[in-house]
Structure 1
Amino acid sequence: MDYKELGDSGVRTSVIAFGSWAAGGWMWGGTEQNDAVGAIRASYDLGVTSIDTAPIYGMGLSEEIVGEAIKGLPRDKVQILTKFGMRWNLAQGTLAMKTKDNAGHDIDVYTYAGPESIVRECEDSLRRLGTDYIDLYQIHWPDVTTPIDVTMEAVTRLMAQGKVRAVGVSNYSAAQMAEAEKTVKLASNQVPYSMLRRDIEREVVPFALEHNKAILAYSPLQLGLLTGKIKPGQSFAATDLRATHPLFKAEHVTRVNAFLAKIRPLAESKSASLAQVVIRWTLAQPGITVALVGARNAEQATQNAKAIEVKLSSEELDFIDKARQQLQPAR
């Protein structure tokens, strides 16, 4: 496994990190906790020392799973990346979505990052994770009801108390990152990025490269679409976000699979899966520091971790990009 520092924060993470959104079950049609714990431990055994989670993933379940998985592991060898600012148990801030929890109950989710809320969220996360500090604490989504400097001042106080090692943001624009930097030295920005979704290359990547900020790419496999395992017209559970996601319409899946068919021989020549090639391509892109990849069981986690063994030459990367350019941009 390879490891990189997040900016100049002093926090070093594995370049392939375990993304635990699916493990928490929320919006993924449920999960099996034992399988998720096994997936995290299998990842760790292969050098994936960094685990990204959030309270909203399963309404606390994902963090609890992570806490269970890291029991007995040397805490200084594991990097816990979690978030704040999405509340399902406090009707304050801006209504972000109406959704359902893992039990199918209707819930309202709000983006809110007021100081008192951050303190409460931090304490709840530490309890669920079974630890006394968080390696990277990230605001999950911008909160338009709280000034950025007020939010960041609250997190700096948590750093002063030793509860947070480094501060990051998620889903922030370059302008929002610059505003946050006036109050705290950011380590990173966690943003969506994949072969099908490359809009961060316009402003976020240049800002990160210029100011030495790490980029944590989430959904590099585009919710599983880039694994080649999704079929046109495939059905998903009503609680699975892919059931209504535009990228999973039959006509788009057909186009994506046609693209994947072009790079499948390359993957096969390396005894690699399509997913492994996609992960490796992601890490080869300018400015991308970490690829966050989810897994529901140990086998998936093992295959994700072994993507680091796949090597892509500049010619092979060019071949992939030329094949990808024939796809219509994601809408």
Structure 2
Amino acid sequence: MKQLHIPGVDKPLSRLVMGTGDLRVLEEPQRQMLSAYIEAGGNVFDTAHQYRGREQVLGQWLAENHLREKVVILSKGAHHDDGSPGARVNPEAIRKDLTESLERLGTSYVDLYALHRDDPAAPVGPVIEELNEHLAAGRIRVIGASNWSHHRVQEANDYAAAHGLTGFTFNSPNLSLAKPNEPRWEGCVSADLSTCQWHAGNQLPLLSWSAQAGGFFSGHFTPENQSDEEMVRVYYSDNNWERYKRSVQIAEAKGVTPIQVALSYVLNQPFPTCAIIGPRNQEELQSSIEAMNLELTPQEVEWLDLIREEI
């Protein structure tokens, strides 16, 4: 499996990240899926304090299989809808969520730790200082943001640089070929053109959640099919249907599927990327692995994204 490096993490990261948001139980199908991911060369698991018990399930499986030191854990905290009411981008919430996440996972550290949501009114200084305390204590290897605008990430990193501290070394917004009309969930951030240009300029790794846009490119959706209210609200637009049409054309030319083209789009950006995936079975996992190995030219990426009219 293809890999990338994030300074501060002592092992390379597989570019396909196994999402655990749906990992509610550890029955045989789930065990087989997780094992198949490891056997394919995957080694990064995405979880969060806010995922209501998923951290315990992941920690149990890692312990049973003696895998903790062989994998990379990405966890997140300081979600606004996680326990105490009100804004939670502050040192107290970070400290609470991280401590509880470590207990749930059954580990003394997480490799990557991201702030799950942002509060643009919260000053970045106390947040960066708190995270640096956990870096120094070894409870975190590297820090990042999930669902922060790139302007806020830059503000945090500027503060870190000015105070001799470590800043965010990765970013984890949504990035997908289908562009959302509005946030899929409250407080979510999706990478737009300016965000991608910012990442291209500084080469900060981007770990994309919902990289396949909820299955928009699976062929299960059409403009006439309005049955899935969330998909209609978030992804149904003339531009996205044109992107789907173009993904079909490239898929036919390359002998693949449109959803594989959509995933390849995320992995062929001009900056380092990983894609967080949530396969329901081993066939979908294999499809994602094949998509990871599908090369797209910069011209094809821009054509898919409606930036150019010809390849």
Q: TM-score, normalised by structure 1?
A: 0.76
1:242–1:38 CA distance, 2 compared to 1 (3 A):
farther
Report what 1:217 is aligned to. Answer: 208
Q: Is the 8 A contact 1:56 1:87 kept in 2?
A: no
Give CA-to-partner distance per residue, 1:142-187, whole Å, 9 cap, x none. 1235321111211111112211111011122222112211233221
Matched, 1:325 2:306: yes
Show the counterpart of 1:79: 72
SS in structure 2 of the partner of residue 51 of structure 1: strand
Taking a change above 3 Å as real, the CA distance of residues 63 and 305 of structure 1, as seen in their structure-2 partners, is farther
Letter in 2 for 1:227: S
Partner of 2:57: 65
Q: Deviations over 1:290-313 (max 9, x none)?
A: 12222233332233233333344x
Number of matched residues? 290
Q: Distance in 1 between matches of 2:272 and 2:239?
A: 26
Contact persistence 2:247–2:262 (CA under 8 A):
no
Q: 2:235 is matched with which residue?
A: 247
Residue 274 of structure 2 aligns to a residue whose secondary structure is strand
| Cα distance between partner residues in 2 of 1:243 and 1:277 | 19
Equivalent of 2:105 in 129, 136, 156: 129
Counterpart selection for 1:208 from 191, 196, 199? 199
- Segments of structure 1 that go 5 or more residues without pairing to the other structure are 25-30, 95-111
Hey, what's the Cα distance between the residues in 2 that align with 1:178 and 1:254? 33
Q: 2:248·2:257 contact (CA, 8 Å) conserved in 1?
A: no
TM-score normalized with structure 2 length = 0.80
Matches within 5 A, 1:250-329: 257-268=244-255, 272-312=256-296, 314=297, 318-319=299-300, 321-322=302-303, 324-325=305-306
Instruction: Give the partner amino acid of 1:219.
Output: S
Check if 1:50 corresponds to 2:44: yes
Q: 1:157 aligns with which of 125, 133, 141?
A: 133
Is the alpha carbon distance of 1:15 and 1:148 closer, same or farther for their aligned partners in structure 2, counting shifts above 3 Å?
Answer: same
In the superposition, relative to structure 1, how do residues 11 and 171 fare at CA in structure 2: closer, same or farther (>3 Å)? farther
- Report Cα offsets for 1:216-273 as digits up to 9, x if no partner: 122221111122233542645xxxx836633258x888656544432331342xxx33
Q: By how many angstroms is 1:32 displaced?
A: 5.9
Shift of 1:64: 2.5
Change (3 A) 1:144 1:282: closer
Greater relative CO (CA pairs within 8 A, separation 6+): 1
2:145 maps to 1:169: yes
The 8 Å contact of residues 137 and 164 in structure 1, kept in 2 or not, is answered as: yes
- Summarize the alignment of residues 108-127 of structure 1 with structure 2, pairs less than 5 Å apart: 112-127=88-103
Distance of 2:304 and 2:4 partners within structure 1: 30
State percent identity of aligned pairs. Answer: 23
SS at match of 1:17: strand
Paired with 2:300 and 2:98, the residues of 1 have a C-alpha distance of: 45
Q: Unaligned regions of 5+ residues in structure 2, if any?
A: 161-165, 181-189
Q: State how far apart, in whole Å, the 2-side matches of 1:209 and 1:66 are.
A: 33
1:190-209 matches, cutoff 5 A: 190-197=172-179, 200=191, 202-209=193-200
